[in-house]
Copies of this chain bind each other. A is one copy, B any other.
Amino acid sequence: MPTRSHIPRPAARRLSLYLRECESLLTQGVPTASSESLGARLGLSAAQVRRDLAYVAQAGQRGVGYDMATLVTVLQEGFGLERPWRAVLVGVGNIGRALLSYAPFRESRVAIVAAVDCDPATIGSQWGGRTVESMQSLGEVVRRGGIELGVIAVPASAAQLAADDLVAAGVRGILNFAPVQVTVPEGTACSHVDVSVELRCLAMEVALGGEHRPRRGRVGARSR
């Protein structure tokens, strides 16, 4: 019986990135990797990598590193990814259609298996093999499909309502593409993909790349 320990959310997020990197290395035929090389791929220190991986695995062998195949299996199993997860998409506009058409999902253990929309013109249309159903049928869609996750791709003004409906339907985790924070009850997981933030981060990095030294100023409330 393996021991268990609590994993903080930021570490869990990094573990998912290690999983992606390890899968990618395996695909490239790389059998082992050190904490240094994993860290270099993700902009993290080797010490951070070792600390994070200690949540799910024993240390890699000195001079050899972590075994990629074993690490992938342990990361998948440790986090419930040894079985498929099903998600429903709420909102079949531009972003929703792109998500439904996104081929790489077929390789993922998390798949968008259904979609709902409130626009009568969109309900009944087909995208990536899924037929869009009505927003009113969300509860039924979730029950019928054994769906545990929801993806929000509605305008900002409708995002909270979509989140409320998903929670009421029994969904346990929400990925929000709407450019606004949504509130969910404790016990429901919620992540946010904000493309504007990503582009801004990139601009920051380029600005840093030029100077590598941002200006430092006063921010404390006591400052003018």
Residues of A within 8 A of B (CB): 2-10, 12-13, 15-17, 19-20, 24, 32, 43-44, 53, 55-61, 64-67, 70-71, 73-74, 77-81, 85, 87, 94-95, 97-99, 101-105, 107-110, 112, 148-149, 151, 155-156, 172-175, 179, 181, 187-189, 191, 193-223
Q: How long is the Cα–Cα vector from A94 to B17 in the complex, in angstroms?
A: 25
Q: Are B56's CB and A203's CB within 8 A?
A: no
What is the copy number of this chain in the assembly? 2
Chain B contacts of A207 at CB under 8 A? Answer: 79-81
Interface of A is mostly: mixed
Q: Are B59's CB and A220's CB within 8 A?
A: yes
Q: Are A206's CB and B148's CB within 8 A?
A: yes
- How many whole Å from A213's CB to the nearest CB in chain B? 3
Q: Are B219's CB and A66's CB within 8 A?
A: yes
Q: Are B110's CB and A220's CB within 8 A?
A: no
Q: Are A57's CB and B216's CB within 8 A?
A: yes
Q: Are B148's CB and A205's CB within 8 A?
A: no
Q: Are B215's CB and A64's CB within 8 A?
A: no
Q: Are A79's CB and B214's CB within 8 A?
A: yes
Chain B contacts of A24 at CB under 8 A? Answer: 181
> Counting chain B CB atoms within 10 Å of each CB, which of A17, A78, A103, A205 scores highest?
A205
Chain B contacts of A12 at CB under 8 A? Answer: 201, 204-205, 208
- How many whole Å from A34's CB to the nearest CB in chain B? 10
